[in-house]
Structure formats: structure tokens, C-alpha cells
Amino acid sequence: MHESESKPRTSRMHADGRLSFRRRVPEVDDPDLPLVLGGEDPPGLRELLPSEALDLEVEIEVGPGKGTFLLAATEARPEAFVLGIEASASYAKYAAEKLKQSGRRNGLLLVDNAKAFLKGQVPAGALRRLHVYFPDPWPKRRHRKRRFFTEEMPEVVHDALAADGWLLVATDNAALAGEITRVLGSSPLLVRDEAEEARLRAGPPGHGFSPTSFERKYRAEGRIIRQYAFRRRDA
């Protein structure tokens, strides 16, 4: 048997559905680039954070793409450290290059499956905010497991958030919005807060929801954008 044949069929990027098409990893020859290639055994959140981040509010952005929100958030809120977890190594590298050019040190890109990272690598209560903007809708039935807000996620999110932590979500997809509000809204662990949604929508960029590349594209197309803020509910 060849070595490759003896490997398990699932891997980290296959957890919760195959993401193997994203595994083409670019060369990273710049040690100062704020980018970590997670591989099959990525470091935990605490190991990833630089010492300067210990006094900052820790946030994760799931699927930052080219990093438009992460860049705006690190600029608008120097009190926050934003870890972007992106499945596409080329997008993560692009965003890390922009972050390096900005000169700011309160952000980092990690190439990984964000669902697997949240389930296994985030200590309880570690996050002040979790941003999930325009998650892939995976419309085909056989791809459902790849969606971000599957049934187990309210508990995963609840455990990762600090007592005063927020989950912020945006999507243009009406069917996905329905599923997200059903899965999150029916959980006793999270509670939607429309006042916070209104506050963030009226607020400056980089505080929550906006700006993202997909948001710009979809607004230009006239699509309706749905934005939700959920806070952790404690017993």
C-alpha cells in the first residue's frame, strides 16, 4: 500500500464537509507577514496571540476573504485584536499583505477551517466578538454540512464568547438568513438584540457588519443585506 493510501479520508480541511479544493497553499517566505498556515495541527488561540494582544479584546472573523472588514476593524478599534480565519490560503495571504502594509499589529490571518478552529482551539469565554459576514451558502443538499451555522454551532459560539460577547452575522441570501435565524434564534444559549443591530448599522465602519467586499458588491447590485447581532445568554 502506498503511504498516501493509508492516510485517513478526512482531514482538518475536510471537517464538516470537504473543503479540499482550498488546500493549494502559496509560498510564504516573509517571516514578518501576519499569516499562519494552520495545516493539520494548527496552534490554539492563546499560542497565536502575540504578547501585545493580552490586554486587547480578542475577536475572530470567519472567512474574511480579502480582509476588507478585518483591515477596517484593526484601524477603527486599536483596543481589539482581530484574528481572521480563512479557508482560502491565497485570500489569507492577500489580506495579510494588506495588514502588513498598514503597519498595524493588532490582527493576524490564519489559514484554517474556522468551524474546526472554534470547536477545538478557542478557550471558553475568550472572544469579545465573532464576525461571520457572507458565509458561503452551499445551496446543494449534499453540501449542507459545509454551511457555517449548522445545529451544533449555537453551543460552540456560546462557549467561545465572553459573557459580554457578540456574534455578528450578515448575509444577502434570504434562504440562508431564514436558516441562520432559526438555528440561532431557537437556541436558549443566544439572544438576538435588534437595538445592537441598529447601533452598529448607524455606527462608523469597522465596528461591526461593515465594510466587507461582498457587502459592497451586493449593495451595488441592489440586493437586500440582512445583519444580525446575537449575544450570549447565560442561565
Ligand X SMILES: C[S@@+](CC[C@H](N)C(=O)[O-])C[C@H]1O[C@@H](n2cnc3c(N)ncnc32)[C@H](O)[C@@H]1O
Dihedral (C-alpha) 91, 92, 93, 97: value to the nearest 10 degrees?
100
Site for ligand X in 89-128 (CB under 6 A): 91, 113-115
Interface with ligand X, residue 86, by CB under 6 A: yes
74 vs 212, beta carbon nearer ligand X: 212
- Residues 61 and 178: their CA atoms lie apart, in Å, by 21
CB of 201 or CB of 234, closer to ligand X: 201
**Least Å from the CB of residue 163 to ligand X:** 26
Contact 232, 160 (CB under 8 A): no
Task: Rank residues 38 and 235 by Cβ distance to ligand X and give the closer one.
Answer: 38
SS3 assignment, position 58: strand
Among 16, 41, 112, 136, the active-site one is 136
159 is catalytic: no
Q: How far is the CB of 36 from ligand X (least distance, A)?
A: 13
CB neighbour class for 7 (10 Å; exposed up to 12, middle 13-18, buried from 19): exposed
Confirm or reject binding of residue 63 to ligand X (CB under 6 A): yes
Query: Is the CA virtual torsion 72, 128, 201, 224 positive or negative?
Result: positive
Can you tell me the distance from the alpha carbon of 169 to that of 153, in angstroms, rounded to the nearest whole number?
Answer: 13
Query: Is residue 62 at the binding interface for ligand X, with CB under 6 A as the rule?
Result: yes
Number of residues that bind ligand X (CB under 6 A): 20
- Exactly one of 45, 53, 87, 109 binds ligand X (CB under 6 A); that residue is 87
Residues in the chain: 235
Which one-letter amino acid corresponds to residue 74? T
Q: Which stretches of the chain bind ligand X, using CB under 6 A?
A: 62-65, 68, 85-88, 91, 113-115, 133-134, 136, 212-215
